Amino acid sequence: MDVLDLTRLQFAVVTIYHYFFVPLSISLAASAAGLQIAWLRTRRAEYLHLTKFVGKLLIVTFAVGVVTGLVQEFQFGLGWSAFANFYGDVFGPTLAIEGMLAFFLEATFLALWYFGWDRLPRLVHTACIVIVAAGTLLSAFIILAANSFMQNPVAYALDPATGRARLTSFTELMLNKVNLAAFPHTMAGALMVGGALLLALGVWRLAADPAYRILARLGAWLTLAGGGFTALTGDHLGKVITEVQPMKMAAAEALYETTSGAPFAVFATGKPLPEFALEIPWLLSILAKGDPGATVQGIDDLQAQYAAEFGPGSYVPMIPVAFWTFRLMIGAGMLAMAVAAFYLWRTRKARQAPHWLTRWLPLIPLLPAAANTFGWIFTETARQPWIAFGISKTADGISPGLTSTEVLFSLAGFTLVYGVLAVVWLRLVRHLARQPLAASSPSPADKSDLAPVY
């Protein structure tokens, strides 16, 4: 592998690992806020215990997410300084606002919430966790706006004096049509990830405390509802992608010839795909443009169009990667939804889930996490060879003078750090889940025990 491939691999490792914790933080913050509001309305002790339990999960996940985010920033400066230099005037203000506004909003009010039990008025204390949840959404919206610029560059102009891109409208950057479509899709996926974790922990600890049944069913509902919204928002996102990045959609379907009434291939084999395909008639045209008879541009025509517009070269991404990650994303998400729906049906009206199901349910977080990961791999690899579609190629974005040895050395270091963080996070979650739920809510007489224990 050359230095470009190694740098791309390093970016993929760092980003995918960081993204394990981002959707968890978003969904755990929303879950903690919802449980605390339920406790305020009902005064049921189970909701209070679960609020504090989910809040502790959020703090652990948020802390690890901050560390992995710092590693990601370091990797970006190390491997992609040419891109950062050219687009710094666009990304700099955007990321600064995210850090100064959204991140400090989350961190400050999360600390107030954690240390404010029995010290702040209940409504003020509840408002703190609601603000934390809103802060996670704001942070995600701004970060996704920066990524959407790479998918569909808007609100910029090339400065003839410096030769760099400069931001022309922050509002237009935030309202990028790709961001408006990707944000709800990403948030729905985040609900699935957090819901699956709560479902797994609830089922695992149900024998120790019946209150975990509430957590398990809440997790199952979040997984099911998040999956439904993911499908709806994904349909809209697919149409936006077809409009601004037609090569990405063509690569996802391995559609080489421009076709009217294009089918969707559920499965395909061959080199390159598809030599044999199991197809659903007209479905691709429906997904791409909402019309069963619509014409979808093929890879060959798009390659010729881009070569004429941008110059000689290949503008075709890796077809097998785009094809299979798209299907694995959908398949893993649908399977998680099906398992959650089956659990809800089998546990309706105080019924118990069968033993074989409870044995396997602790593994369900792997499904939405895999769906999210495959979705990001598809989003970023099917954009290639562009780092910012239509204006800058990935090969032009890596740091000048970077060597393969330097990338391999730093990649080994990041992998070691991430391995340690994974062990720490898993041990902390296991430790928290093994504590009795009531221990999360000591009586007022035991206020001295409210000090952090992790």
pLDDT tens track for 171-191: 999 999 999 999 999 999 999
Residue type, 11: F
d(CA 207, CA 180): 43
Q: Where are the beta strands (DSSP E) in 119-274?
A: 156-158, 165-167, 259-260, 264-269
Q: Which two tokens stand for residue 411?
A: 């990649």
d(CA 200, CA 388): 39
- DSSP string over 352-397: PPPHHHHHHGGGTTHHHHHHHHHHHHHHHHTTTTEEETTTEEGGGT
Q: Where do the domains of the chain lie?
A: 3-227+400-432
Would you call the peptide bond into 320 cis, given omega within 30 degrees of 0 as the criterion?
no
pLDDT tens track for 382-405: 999 999 998 889 998 888 888 899
pLDDT tens track for 41-100: 999 999 999 999 999 999 999 999 888 888 888 888 888 888 888 888 888 888 888 877
Closest CA to 71 of 416, 454, 426: 416
Q: Which two tokens stand for residue 211?
A: 């209150």
Q: What is the pTM of this model?
A: 0.90
pLDDT at 440 over 70: no
Query: 3-class SS at 25?
Result: helix
Q: Which two tokens stand for residue 250?
A: 């063509």
Lowest mean pLDDT among 92-106, 135-149, 219-233, 313-327: 92-106
Residue partners of 352: CB distance under 8 A and separation at least 6: 346
pLDDT at 452 over 70: no
pLDDT tens track for 13-25: 888 888 889 999 9
At 165 the pLDDT is 86
